[in-house]
Amino acid sequence: MSYEFDFADVFAAWPELLQGLLNSLVLSALAMAIGMVVSVAGALGKTSGPKWLVRIIDEYIELIRNTPFLIQIFMIYFGLPSLGLKFSSNGAALLALVVNVGAYGIEIIRAGIESIQKGQIEAGKSLGMRPLQIFRYIILKPAIQAIYPSLTSQFILLMLNTSVCSAIAASELTAVAGDIQSRTFRSFEVYFIVTCMYLGLSVFFWSVFAGIERAFLRKPTR
């Protein structure tokens, strides 16, 4: 192996990399928050809406799940302006992430809603639980327990997906890596460091989510 590693230029760009990391995190958090609103609305529409609405939501879910995220971004960033809808690259990235995560979130939230059983609520009432207690212990907690694992892994997938937003030059970590690479020509070093940064983020969120689950969402053992 005759290659000489040179990480100096990459490490020198640490303020840029840190800013990119922060931007990726903000983009992920915003997309997840707005995506959850879409998901809850979609899940309510799917479980209790009229038939035509259910069909529209189903088609939206299938369309998004069966096309690449990259094409969805291109459609929003390059395609929609010809219909008069123009977005900045960051705006388009956020919108594409929301539209994408919504299609997965709706099914997760719907599973949570359907995990609540009517008989359990009646059992709570007959035990003399107050409405607030019923909501907290019989509706909310089991529903959150049911959706928590899928929802948290969806967040990590979303965070990793933000790297694709570099294709439309949104300001996030992968785009920063591209900038540094074109300036220093240290391709391997840049992408290696940035890959480690993404891995660090994933490991961080995996442990935080597992910690929260252990502390608050433990299921009673029989």
**x/- map, 172-211, another protein, by CB under 8 A:** --x------------xx--xx-xx--xx--xx--x-----
- Taking the complex as a whole, the smallest distance from the CB of residue 32 to another protein amounts, in Å, to 16
| Lookup: tokens for 92 | 């388009």
Task: Check if the beta carbon of residue 28 is closer than 8 Å to that of residue 160.
Answer: no
What is d(CA 163, CA 132) in angstroms, rounded to the nearest whole number?
A: 42
Query: Is 78 a binder of another protein (CB under 8 A)?
Result: yes
What is d(CA 81, CA 130) in angstroms, rounded to the nearest whole number?
A: 53
Query: Is 33 a binder of another protein (CB under 8 A)?
Result: no
- For the chain, the first-to-last Cα distance in angstroms comes to 58
Query: Is 30 a binder of another protein (CB under 8 A)?
Result: no
What is d(CA 219, CA 143) in angstroms, rounded to the nearest whole number?
A: 12
If the CB atoms of residues 144 and 156 are measured against another protein, the closer one turns out to be 156
Query: Is 167 a binder of another protein (CB under 8 A)?
Result: yes
Task: Check if the beta carbon of residue 179 is closer than 8 Å to that of residue 16.
Answer: yes
List residues binding another protein (CB under 8 A): 1-3, 62-63, 65-72, 74-75, 78-83, 156, 160-164, 166-167, 174, 187-188, 191-192, 194-195, 198-199, 202-203, 206
